[in-house]
Each structure stands twice: as structure tokens, then as C-alpha cells.
Structure 1
Amino acid sequence: MGRLPPFAVEDWMEEHETKAKYNLAETCCDSISADHLQTLCEDKSAKVIDLSKRLNYGSIRGSDVLRTNLSRLYSSRAATPLPPENILTTPGAIAANHLVFYSLVGPGDHVVCHYPTYQALYEVPASLGGEVDLWKAKFENDWTPDIEELKGLIKSNTKLIVLNNPNNPTSAVLKRSLMEQIVELAKEHSITIMCDEVYRPIFHSISPMDKEFPLSILSLGYQKTIATGSMSKAYSLAGIRVGWIAARDPEIIQKCVATRHYTTISVSQLDEQVAAFALDPNTVHSLLRRNIDLAKANIEILEKFIIKHDEMCEWVRPVAGTTALVRFKRDDKPIDAVQFCKILLEKTGVLFAPGKCFGDEYEGFVRIGFVPSTVVLKEGLQKVQAFLRKEFDDLPLAA
């Protein structure tokens, strides 16, 4: 395994987020406590954690109740139910993604990765000896990548297509018709598709009744598909560090299990109990309604801010997810977003993440996480507004 380069956005967050009063670089829906989670459950006698259970390794592939709850979610809009046995729990989605890559990619394999995206989705397969090409979405095309460009990237040794839907950092979605085209292309060449779905199902501006509503990759009728997810983003429980791999092909799960024996063996029983409680039918609907309603309210607040400052910034309004990639400019030239973010944090306590964390071509962009508490978002944007009024003309432009 080759040496991994610095993880730009995680380095940025580690250095700056503890200094922020208004963390608008955060990507999770406003986090909750175990006590808050309990109040969302319709069964008021249910306990988040059973403290009488012995704390051994537990079920190696994941607790039966947690995997059953996950299989229920993946089966709800699928023609064929997903068996619980086709799910493997992991310590967060970042571990799930890493495990898939380590299990499936090696020297001589070609990988195509949807971009911009979370850096691990292309750097990890490259570190394993894979040849990686980026399938680039463009701001000018509403962050929708071109299927013809994807066709041109496919090679005889293409092993894996990596997607991120909804996307980080843009929160754009790959619509159903495009996903169906990707699946048909993968079928033609017998390529496995892995989709990082950690922001699913935070769909705040597109209805499930819309014909272009994006289904999970596991619901599109192709056997060689993998979805990864976690409790962190859509479910407000980053602190329990529970993620998962779900696959239509049980052989993929078996390969990941064999690899995981060398890493974490199993996931914390306590963490899995919290996750199972959150995904139980008595809880999950209230939890998701809380977070989708929060996203709906907050995206309207952010949109008003963008419109009010449209001479300074522009965006593609997200229809899902928790983040927006916003471009700041002066005289039609991009500002130096890294300096902007540093000065903004120093003078206001507001934290954004510079677009350069996702690639040098995103100079001028900042990623804004818009699903903290509404109070934090409102107060933070008020601070940004005052800053722009006084300081914007003095900010350096991008080189």
C-alpha cells in the first residue's frame, strides 16, 4: 500500500473546528444525544442501551437487529428485498469505504471516481496501486457529470465505478435516469459500482414521487452494486461511529469480511445498540422527519443569504444533503477562499471549509454546512453578512 497524501478537508477541520463558535463547515445534521434519541421513539418503554448485556465481541458481522433494520430500509423501494446477511457493519462509513477498496482493488485495476467528492474515495484506491480517473461534474452543468464522458473513461481493466450520491461537497444528486444509464454501462462491461450514500435519505427539495428521484444504487436491479452508509450525517449520530457495507452480491460481503478480520474484527456492541435503536421502525421515521424538516428550513435561510449577496456569491441550490458549494467572487474573479475562511474564522468565529480542500480547481469556492441548529445557522450567517459588508473588498483574490 502506497503512502496516502494529506487529507485536506480533515486536516482543515482538525485544525480549525474547535476554535469555531459557529461551525458552518460541519456536514452532519445537527447532532443529538442518547436522551434526545429516546424521546423520538414511539415506544416509551424501549431503552437505547441494554446495560445488562455482556460486552464481548458480539456478532462479528454486525448485530442481527441492526442489520435487520438496515435491510428493511434498503428493501423499501427495491424490487427484490436485501437480506440482512448482505450487510456488514463497520466503524463509520470511512472504514466501510476503505474496506471495500482494500478488498476489491489492487495493482493493475482501473477505478473511475465521481468528482468532486470526499478525498478518500479516490486517494485510497490509488494508494492500493489502482489507476484512478476522475469523472468530473462541473458547476456550469449544475454539478451533473456527463454520461458520455464516463463512457470515454471506461477501459478493459476498469474494476470499479465510485459514486457519491447525494454528493459531498456539492449536495447535487445523480438523478434516477442518469443512475440507470450508469448501471447499464456497468452491466455492459461487468463493472462493480460502489456508491457512498452517507447523505441519503436527506432529500429536502425533491419529492420521492418525482420521476427523477434518486434511488439507492441497490434498488436499480444490478447484482454488482455496493452501498456504504453511516449514522453520522443523515442520522445525527457521528459519535457512535457506526457505518456499513451493503451489497447485492454476497461474495462481495464475504471478501470484505475476510479483510476485516485483519482490522477491527467487529463493531462496539454499545454503538450498535444505539444505531439499532435509531433505525428501529419506532424511531427512524421521527428522526428522519426531524432532520429533513431542519434541512428544509435551513436551506431557505441559506438561499435568502445567497440571493441577498448575489453580487458576491453564487451557487447551484442543493436538492439534498447537508452542504452547499458556494463560489465567492469580486469583479468576476474568485477570491482567495483559504484566506477568506481563515480571516472569517478569526474575526467572527464562523467556520467554512475552502473549496481547495476538494481540489485546486475549486479556488473561490467554500463548502457551507447548512444543517446545524437553525439558531447556529442564522447567527453564523448574520456574522458573515456583517463581515462581508466591512471586509469583502479587502479580501485577496485567487492567484
Structure 2
Amino acid sequence: MEIAKFGVEDWLNVWENDAIYDIAGSSIASMTLEEILEFIHIDKDEFMKMCFDKKMNYGWIEGSPEFKEEVCKLYDDVKPEQVLQTNGATGANFIALYGLINRGDHVVSMYPTYQQLIDIPKSFGADVDLWQIHEEDNWLPSIDELKSLVRSNTKMICINNANNPTGSIMDENYLTQVVEIAKSIDAYILCDEVYKPLCDDIKVPSIVDLYDKGIATNSLSKTYSVPGVRVGWVVSNLEVANVYRKIRDYTMICAGVLDDVIATLVLKNKDLILERNRKIVEENLEIVKEWLKTEPRVTLNLPKNVSTSFIKIDVEMNTEEFCIALLKEKGVLLVPGNRFDMPGYARLGYCARKEILIKGLEELSAFLRKFD
């Protein structure tokens, strides 16, 4: 099997440990275990006893009943048997694609997006058409273009909502149109939903709440600020879930027993975590807005309370070379847009710790002055 190098991960593997000001990531400021316990009001001794009492066996293969129960609460009418615990959303996406996509199948994928949704189907021998997002439409792709891309034999439409790297959101009205197109050709829709918008003025339902052949993947890594537990999940109808059960046995068997404990505690107390994270997103977005007013070489279609953004940088320099020079000279880490096949842009993960964001933007502006 041949597969393209994973652009973003390859970049971060090489450069992220050199960063002083890491504003490249797309999680909302990750918490320490101590912070998690403080936010959900669990005594440390109580938590440690809970962990010490856990037998370090394989645990619950598909995720504990408590974990599945909490995941079900995120959707309108999902039963525990439709939920499978995975190794992060990357594991969920892999299982979702591996279980359904075969050589010769036709797939339409939003582009650019998380690279898994494009290159994994290609590696399986699928024919993949790219559904291009457009900056002038707030980084959304055209519904009419989707209609022209799908075929009578299209097996799956892959989307990422909100989008990585831009933060663009498909709201309920938009998603309903995508569902109608998928229904017309009896195609699945795989939606990577790790970037939950933290705002109340826009309705963004899960794809599984809109469509029986919808497949939702998610994790604790982005909106919930706990990437370190490496726990995600895939939700689908029962027929598809039974296909995925076979794939899981070949790819992961189970998550860690203690990871399941932490993941379940976070989901049980998600309202407290999301309250913390909503504040971070709102406050940091205001910092970015103020910075943009004073930075003539950067423009941005502002995301809607989503933890990732895609800035346009006005410099006459190769984007990757620019980002390497910025890191070496100022210690500021961005993800160059060419890693999403979008040179001239960069992913700005503005939901870092506030002091890191402020200093990182300050140093980025100082570096940009050499191009004036």
C-alpha cells in the first residue's frame, strides 16, 4: 500500500520541539491531570484510589459502559452498541474508512481538510475527487460543485465540521443539503466532528442525527482539551458499527484502562470543561482580532468560536521557508499552508495558553517587519 506523507504531522514531528511559542496546534489549551480534577471537582486522593483499584487488564474492549453512555448523550438517539471507542479521532477515521472503502470505489472529500480523509481512501485504491473550499465563501465549498462531483456509484462523502485548518462551519441548513445529495445516490457521509463550535448562535448537529448513513468521528483532543488520553470514538448505524467491530480487532483491540477512566470523567463533566474552553476561545479570539488591526501583512476570515484558524500572510517568500525562518529566529511555530496544499497561508492555533498566544503574535509581527 502506498500512501502520501502526512503533511501536518510530518511538519510537527520535525519542528514542534523547537518552539518557544507554539501557536500551531488546534486543541484548546491542553490541561494537566491536576487541572482536570480541579475543574470537575474530584479529590486527588479519591481519583488515585479509583486508579489504584483498577485491574490493569484489557478492560472493556469497545469502551466501558460508562464511557459509551456519556458518548450517547452527545447525540439525539444513539444507542451504546452504535458507539466504538478508538485511539483518538485518527483511529476513528481510519476504522471508518477501512471498513467501507474498497479499490475502485468513488469518494468525494472536502479539500483541504484533515489529510486522512483524502489520502487513506486513495491508498485503498479509491477514486477520490476533491471538493474545494473557497475563501470568498468563508472557506465553505459549493453545494453546486458537490452535485457535479458525485456519481451514481459514489460510496462516501468525507467532510470535517468544523474544518481543519480554516475553522469554517457547516450549519444545519448546509448539512441538510449535503445529506439530500448523499441520499440521492445512497452514499455514506463521514464527518470528522472534533472541532465543536463553542457558540450558541449557530446550530451544528452531528451527521448521525441527520442521516442514517452518517458516520461521526470525534475525540477528547480538541474541544475537550485532553489529547493525552488518546481516546476517540466512531458512531454509526448498527449495521455499519458491526463492520467496524471487526476492524477494531485488527487495529487496536482496546484503549488503556486509565485512559478510559479519565475520558469518562471528562465527558461526565463536559459542561464544566466546555465552560472553561468557551472562555478561552472567546478571549483569545479577541486577542487575535486586536492583533489583526495592527498587523498589515496578515488577513484572516475569522472562525466562529472554533479552535483553529487559517491566516493569509503577505510576504514574497516560500511559505515553508518563511515558517522555518520564523521558528529559528523568533521561536514561533505555525503550520505552513503548503502542508494543506495552500501556500501563502498558515494554520494559527490561537487557543494556546494566553501568554503564549500574546507573545507568539508579538514575535510574529516583529519578524514580519523585515518584509516592510
- TM-score band, normalised by the shorter chain? over 0.9
The superposition leaves residues 255-291 of structure 1 with CA deviations (integer Å, 9 ceiling, x where unpaired) of 01111111211111111111001111xx211111111
Q: In 2, Cα distance between the equivalents of 1:149 and 1:348?
A: 41
**Deviation of 1:96 (Å):** 0.7
The separation in 1 between residues aligned to 2:228 and 2:181, in whole angstroms, is 38
Distance 2:266 2:92 in 1: 19
1:185 aligns with 2:181: yes
Residues 1:244 and 2:226 are matched in the alignment: no
Query: Contact 2:285–2:305 at 8 Å: present in 1 too?
Result: no
Choose the corresponding residue for 1:308, options 253, 273, 294: 294
Mapped contact 1:173–1:320 kept (Cα < 8 A) = no
The residue number in structure 2 matching 1:285 is 271
| Structure 2 partner of 1:397 | none
Would you say the 8 A contact 2:153–2:185 is kept in 1? no
Segment drifting more, 163-172 vs 337-346: 337-346
> Secondary structure of the residue that 2:93 maps to in structure 1?
helix
Alignment-mate amino acid for residue 276 of structure 1: T
C-alpha separation in 1, matches of 2:359 and 2:142: 38
| Ranges in structure 1 where 5+ consecutive residues have no aligned partner | 394-399
User: Structure 1 residues 335 and 303, CA, compared in 2 at 3 Å: closer, same or farther?
Assistant: farther
Q: CA deviation at 1:363?
A: 1.2
Secondary structure of 2:218's counterpart equals: strand
1:350 to 322, 326, 332: 332
C-alpha distance in 2 between matches for 1:50 and 1:108: 47
Deviates more, 1:321-330 or 1:46-55: 46-55
The residue number in structure 1 matching 2:283 is 297
Question: For 1:132, what is the secondary structure of its paired residue?
Answer: strand
Deviation at 1:42, TM superposition (A): 4.2
1:109 to partner: Cα distance: 0.7
Number of residue equivalences? 370
Which residue identity is paired with 2:128? V
What residue number does 2:218 align with? 229
Q: Out of 208, 213, 235, which is 1:218 matched to?
A: 208
Q: Deviations over 1:350-378 (max 9, x none)?
A: 0011000001xx11101100001111101
Task: Note if contact 1:172-1:320 (Cα within 8 Å) is conserved in structure 2.
Answer: no
Name the structure 2 match of 1:172.
168
Residues 290-315 of structure 1: CA deviation (Å, up to 9, x unaligned):
11110110011111112221x31211
Do the aligned residues in 1 keep the contact of 2:101 with 2:126 (CA within 8 Å)? yes
1:59 CA drift (Å): 1.5
- Give the Cα separation in 2 of the matches to 1:157 and 1:163: 18
How far has the Cα of 1:47 moved from its partner?
A: 2.4
Unaligned runs of 5+ in 2: none
1:60 shift after superposition: 1.4
Distance in 2 (CA, whole Å) between partners of 1:112 and 1:162 is 6
Q: CA deviation at 1:43?
A: 5.5
1:392 matched to 2:368: no
- Aligned match for 2:134, one of 131, 138, 141: 138
Residue 361 of structure 2 is matched in structure 1 by 381
- AA in 2 matched with 1:349: G
Give CA deviations for 1:338-396 in whole Å, capped at 9, x if unaligned.
1111111111100011000001xx1110110000111110111111122222x224xxx
Tell me whether 40-49 or 314-323 shows the greater mean CA deviation. 40-49
Please show how residues 69-80 of structure 1 align to structure 2 within 5 Å.
Answer: 69-74=70-75, 78=76
CA distance in 1 between partners of 2:292 and 2:118 (Å): 31
SS at match of 1:104: coil
Q: Distance in 2 between matches of 1:8 and 1:256?
A: 27
- Per the normalisation by structure 1, the TM-score is 0.90
SS of the aligned residue for 1:262 comes to: helix
Equivalent residue runs for 1:47-62 within 5 Å: 47=47, 49-62=50-63
CA displacement 1:84-126 (0-9 Å, x = unmatched): 1110001111011011111000012111111110111110011
Equivalent runs, 1:15-164 vs 2, <5 Å: 15-42=14-41, 44=43, 47=47, 49-74=50-75, 78=76, 81-164=77-160
Distance in 2 of aligned mates of 1:307 and 1:367? 19
Q: Aligned to 2:257, which of 265, 269, 272? A: 269
| 1:339 alignment partner in structure 2 | 321
- Is residue 328–residue 335 contact of structure 1 (8 Å, CA) maintained in 2? no
1: CA distance between counterparts of 2:311 and 2:46? 43
The C-alpha deviation readout for 1:73-94, integer Å capped at 9, x for no partner, is 22xxx3xx21111100011110
Q: For 2:12 and 2:96, how far apart are their aligned partners in 1?
A: 25
Could you say what secondary structure the match of 1:171 adopts? coil
| Secondary structure of 1:245 counterpart | strand
2: CA distance, partners of 1:18 / 1:291: 25
> Aligned partners of 1:23, 1:345: CA distance in 2, in Å?
9
Distance 1:371 1:16 in 2: 19
Q: 1:33 to 1:43 in 2, by over 3 A?
A: closer
- Out of 319, 325, 346, the residue aligned to residue 366 of structure 1 is 346
- Deviation (angstroms), 1:46: 5.6
1:317-346 deviations in Å (ceiling 9; x for gaps): 10032111111114xxx6421111111111
Structure 2 CA distance, aligned partners of 1:153 and 1:347?
44
RMSD: 1.4
- The letter of the residue matching 1:217 is I
Deviates more, 1:299-308 or 1:369-378: 299-308
- So what's the TM-score if we normalise by structure 2? 0.96
| Over 6 Å off, 4+ runs | none
Secondary structure of the residue aligned to 1:378 is helix
